[in-house]
Amino acid sequence: MKREELQELGLESSQINAVMGMHGSVVNDLNDQVRTLEKESEQLKEQNQSYADEVESLKENSSDDELKAKLDDLEKQQKSLQQEHQQELHDLNRKHKIQLAVKSLGVKDEEYVADKLSDLELEDGELVNFEERANELKEKHPLLFEDDEPKQAKKWSQGGTSTINQSPISISEIMQVKDPNERQKLIAENRDKF
């Protein structure tokens, strides 16, 4: 997401700053998760290499049954560690894919929806049955999702009461207005949609 793209959509600098701030916090959170994963992955690789080195050392020096038993034990530990590492990476990748997919849904409570979809499986890098489950959740809990239909806009008089109902206008209709001044006016009048 770039500032120029938001300017092309007709957003004011204060709106652009707010959008970029929210986007930056999401990106920073995801980057922190990636850094944590990379550190954990590196630690597991080092531990795995340590086991492998110890196994090789024992293979070269083993001559009695006690050493062979220890060698077998270390090989089992190494295999177990590799399996745990692969499972952790798979689970983290799945969780990350779910979070990104939930962001694209436009929900009001991303954590809750991600938790509801946390049991989805990941196959070939894609979430299995994500759309079906998201649609089921949308049917059961429509209040969690942003409205697809535009709300009835109201014009307010100085007294603070509603005087005239305007026809509803959607975000996409606002963004299609060619005149930047008119588009800015519509954005200001329909700020609750942004």
Tens-digit pLDDT profile for residues 132-164: 999 998 888 888 887 654 444 444 444 444 444
Which residues are within 8 A (CB) of 147 and not within 5 positions of it... i.e. 6 or more apart? Answer: none
Q: What is the pLDDT of residue 132?
A: 92
Which of the 8 DSSP states describes residue 107? B
Looking at the chain, the whole-number percentage of residues with pLDDT higher than 90 is 2
Maximum separation of any 2 CA atoms in the chain, in Å: 96
- Cα–Cα distance, 175 to 145 (Å, whole number): 21
Q: Which two tokens stand for residue 87?
A: 């499972």
- Cα–Cα distance, 138 to 140 (Å, whole number): 6
Q: What is the pLDDT along the chain (194 residues), one digit of tens a residue?
A: 778 888 888 888 888 888 888 888 888 888 888 888 888 888 888 888 888 888 777 777 656 777 778 888 888 988 898 898 889 888 888 888 888 888 888 888 888 889 989 899 988 888 899 899 999 988 888 888 876 544 444 444 444 444 444 557 888 788 888 888 888 888 888 877 77
Measured CA to CA in angstroms, residue 137 lies from 13, 51, 120, 126 at distances of: 36, 46, 13, 19
Listed as own residue / partner, the contacts of 135-142 with beta carbons closer than 8 Å and 24 or more positions apart are 137/113
Measured CA to CA in angstroms, residue 126 lies from 43, 92, 106, 186 at distances of: 27, 13, 20, 39
